[in-house]
Structure 1
């Protein structure tokens, strides 16, 4: 009885607020023409609509209300975009107005007090750090210089599979791919392996996974001021533990770089960042917190998403024996059987490229692009106020039947023209295909990610056949394609396969 009384007392102000808002919204003059959308509830707005799969919910709402709709998460207005035409308006025509990303308590805390790069507001600091990232880590020259690292880590991964290729021992491919990509990124940026056993290096893989999940979590306190200081979801406690451990590791790595700079003339990204922090005449004054936050962003942005792209590609290939046969025929004809695939072979492997693109169409690792408006603007006749959050549902756009024939089928051929050449690039200029976003806030690491994914997938197809639960590759077979909850489309279950050697990579790698 007491519980019923408390419930009634709680509901009365909610209902009163809801009726009052509805009445006044109908009687007062409308000064803004906002996009359509479902009716919002008091206090929480539309937060109740966000289930474990936001991209599904937003897709269904778009089918009812149109390609541009309004939502309100707590007190924060948002716009949802679900068509290529609308995405083009927001990401190209009005790109500058949506050149920032939404700020959250999680971003601020895990980004060392807002010093992170990935979620920093559009401005001088963000421009400087992006330019630095592109010139010192992701430029063509840098990627070329760092090619031996990527080759060595891929070969290490292939040899691990080879040691288990007796057709009996199962391998957690998801975990091993994550280790490979993580060590590529850590060696490229800090000249050391940070994933794997303690004997190989400092283990930060679990911490990076936790940071990724925290950043993608819907924190109620960011949208409802009443709950801002309450840790209702337990996210604050998780953040403190994760941040403390990650900071300890980063302090150790920074200290190592500071000690070695007098002994070793070879510079990595960490060395360059430390030099800038000590240069009084530098264009941008960096603190140690900026450096640690920047490295964190590189790990979070590059590791999970790249490894996920490989996981989903392998999952689709295992389901489709016809496709894997054609892919293997292409590799054998272009590369042969006397060496392992190299990054330089990618331009000559259009079907492998098409397989990866088709995977990213159906399984974009981040289902939704997040942006925030920095000024008032009018788009397609709708008024979009400043500080409005933007959700671009690239998962729905990649399955739009107006642009993709049989959109739910895995058909790499759609990315190859009649002459067998690759078509539709990944630079974000085709607004019906945006796996890496578009424009100035698009993913800066897309070239590196694609090189890693295509080369690794090609090498696995070349050297191994993969079995799941005893099903032979030529037969195909059922595979769990369930997606875990969240904005990042993780597999619900890790990809565990039994590798069967087709070519022995050991002598090929050694040669």
Structure 2
């Protein structure tokens, strides 16, 4: 028996050795092939097998490491090898303009990581991971003409007001005690998407199902933000050595099961009486020609669209608002200036409403400055070259991953004076007053540009100033644990979005009437 076990052990070791040697040989051959590609953008010399991974450092967040390497090897466009994955990094407004103006279609492909590859094959539904083509255009058209159309957003203003009111109420209940500011914003954003999608508060204290959906959605975002070795060494993907894909897909299935219940409930009790038409109504009522477009959306397609609304809409909103509050508390003069503007425009016995935002230029400038320094997705969502093209004289081969380092572009000293300082006043100066984040100012593209630009900008431009302005109008804020502004930890951590490494804790003090 012992001899047999030893033989089995030896056979297992031989198998492992064979797999490792085959992997090294394959990666080595790929490395030699890569070096033959002509006119790639400059970049650090890659190591065999692992490429430039170990040159990125493990202490700094990747967008900062990439920016520092770009200063040495390619301030506009640079090549990095992440294992066997060829990656071109766009690090300047000049290169971004060339990409989005002249090669937008060619570079509109999507690099899909292993954890994003679900169990639904070519099922329609994902606007984030779908490759550029007819299916993606259908989903994009649905977003721009149904979900985020200004007239529909006007019709749902009461929903946003109610979700902000709930945020205020939860903070009032904690008045005088330290709260996790980011979590408060996250719960508000999650309930907002829940109301837009299903016309219900998913995180109502009495909703156990809503809490379960919230849990699984949060776990998906957690796993989506983890670096996955399977992306860099494709021969390992069948092993899923970190278990990221397995765990993420499990939570997606659980979330889909819950969302499916909401869909079934709506189909059995469909009625628009006493409520505004929501996004689920739009999806259920969709009718295509059945030839170029599906005649109706399947339940799986609806599930995917619903789930992406939650993952894309909650974490990005949360990170931006938490960073805005952190920067304001870190810069007391700016905090006082903004709070003074809000309270001068909106009296103490009034409620801040969306109609007031146009009269609050400094509030809008604070949002812009937050997005400049802390874009929610520092690399946007990864693009992929569907065909080869040339950018600034360099060849971008087909299948190349393209990352746009909007974090670096927003801090480029060639474009921005005092680039690392939080100074909202810059957006009130003559040369920057008309700069916005709608994709045409290539030195400021926190939501991307071109065809794959975030379609939810019209919603974000309403929610972000309304939520931030309301909290400064209703409360005074001080840092928790007796912390001083100069002692704040403003370092970053990467998940699915760019978050504070140390969550912001602050004490709300109810403003006297």
TM over 0.5: yes
Question: Do structure 1's residue 448 and structure 2's residue 459 form an aligned pair?
Answer: yes
Q: Select the residue among 40, 53, 58 that pairs with 2:61.
A: 53
**SS of alignment partner, residue 78 of structure 1:** strand
1:372 matched to which residue of 2?
Answer: 384
Which consecutive residues of structure 1, in runs of 5 or more, have no partner in the other structure?
505-511
- Residues 258-407 of structure 1 aligned to structure 2 (within 5 Å): 258-261=267-270, 264=273, 267-276=277-286, 283-285=293-295, 286-369=297-380, 370-407=382-419
Question: What CA distance in whole angstroms lies between the structure 2 residues aligned with 1:459 and 1:501?
Answer: 12
2:45 matched to which residue of 1?
Answer: 39
Question: What CA distance in whole angstroms lies between the structure 1 residues aligned with 2:32 and 2:265?
Answer: 64
Which stretch of structure 1 is more off in the superposition, 179-188 or 44-53?
44-53
Question: What CA distance in whole angstroms lies between the structure 2 residues aligned with 1:360 and 1:212?
Answer: 20
After superposition, give the CA deviation of every residue in 1:173-204 in whole Å (9 maximum; x if it has no partner): 21111111111111011111223534486122
C-alpha spacing 1:72/1:144, structure 2 compared with 1 (3 Å): same
Question: What CA distance in whole angstroms lies between the structure 2 residues aligned with 1:321 and 1:434?
Answer: 27
Question: Do structure 1's residue 85 and structure 2's residue 97 form an aligned pair?
Answer: no
Question: What CA distance in whole angstroms lies between the structure 1 residues aligned with 2:454 and 2:132?
Answer: 15
Question: What CA distance in whole angstroms lies between the structure 2 residues aligned with 1:18 and 1:161?
Answer: 54
After superposition, give the CA deviation of every residue in 1:227-248 in whole Å (9 maximum; x if it has no partner): 0200211213312331222122
Q: Is the 8 A contact 1:91 1:438 kept in 2?
A: yes
Q: Is the 8 A contact 1:373 1:387 kept in 2?
A: yes
Question: Do structure 1's residue 122 and structure 2's residue 132 form an aligned pair?
Answer: yes
C-alpha spacing 1:340/1:121, structure 2 compared with 1 (3 Å): same
Question: What CA distance in whole angstroms lies between the structure 1 residues aligned with 2:436 and 2:67?
Answer: 25
How much has 1:110 moved relative to structure 2? 7.0
C-alpha spacing 1:11/1:111, structure 2 compared with 1 (3 Å): closer
1:481 matched to which residue of 2?
Answer: 490
C-alpha spacing 1:94/1:19, structure 2 compared with 1 (3 Å): closer
Which stretch of structure 1 is more off in the superposition, 322-331 or 37-46?
37-46
2:205 matched to which residue of 1?
Answer: 197
After superposition, give the CA deviation of every residue in 1:108-165 in whole Å (9 maximum; x if it has no partner): 2177765422111111111111111222221101100000000011011112222222
C-alpha spacing 1:25/1:160, structure 2 compared with 1 (3 Å): closer
Question: What CA distance in whole angstroms lies between the structure 1 residues aligned with 2:130 and 2:22?
Answer: 38
Which stretch of structure 1 is more off in the superposition, 70-79 or 173-182?
70-79
Q: Give the total of aligned pairs.
A: 492
How much has 1:211 moved relative to structure 2? 1.8
- Residues 5-16 of structure 1 aligned to structure 2 (within 5 Å): none
**SS of alignment partner, residue 494 of structure 2:** coil
How much has 1:418 moved relative to structure 2? 5.2
RMSD (CA atoms): 2.9
Q: Select the residue among 136, 142, 148 that pairs with 1:138.
A: 148
After superposition, give the CA deviation of every residue in 1:409-443 in whole Å (9 maximum; x if it has no partner): 11001010259x94311101111111111111011
**SS of alignment partner, residue 368 of structure 1:** coil
C-alpha spacing 1:176/1:25, structure 2 compared with 1 (3 Å): closer
Question: What CA distance in whole angstroms lies between the structure 2 residues aligned with 1:149 and 1:112?
Answer: 35
**SS of alignment partner, residue 109 of structure 1:** coil
Which consecutive residues of structure 2, in runs of 5 or more, have no partner in the other structure?
1-12
Q: Is the 8 A contact 2:225 2:494 kept in 1?
A: no
C-alpha spacing 1:357/1:239, structure 2 compared with 1 (3 Å): same
Question: What CA distance in whole angstroms lies between the structure 2 residues aligned with 1:48 and 1:217?
Answer: 17
2:224 matched to which residue of 1?
Answer: 215
The TM-score with structure 1 as length reference comes to 0.88
Q: Is the 8 A contact 1:186 1:194 kept in 2?
A: yes
C-alpha spacing 1:337/1:70, structure 2 compared with 1 (3 Å): same
2:436 matched to which residue of 1?
Answer: 425
After superposition, give the CA deviation of every residue in 1:381-410 in whole Å (9 maximum; x if it has no partner): 111111111011111111111111111111
**SS of alignment partner, residue 210 of structure 1:** helix
Question: What CA distance in whole angstroms lies between the structure 1 residues aligned with 2:305 and 2:29?
Answer: 46
C-alpha spacing 1:326/1:110, structure 2 compared with 1 (3 Å): farther
How much has 1:470 moved relative to structure 2? 5.1
How much has 1:375 moved relative to structure 2? 1.1
2:8 matched to which residue of 1?
Answer: none
Question: Do structure 1's residue 414 and structure 2's residue 422 form an aligned pair?
Answer: no
Q: Is the 8 A contact 2:178 2:480 kept in 1?
A: no
1:508 matched to which residue of 2?
Answer: none
Q: Is the 8 A contact 1:367 1:487 kept in 2?
A: no
Q: Is the 8 A contact 1:108 1:114 kept in 2?
A: no
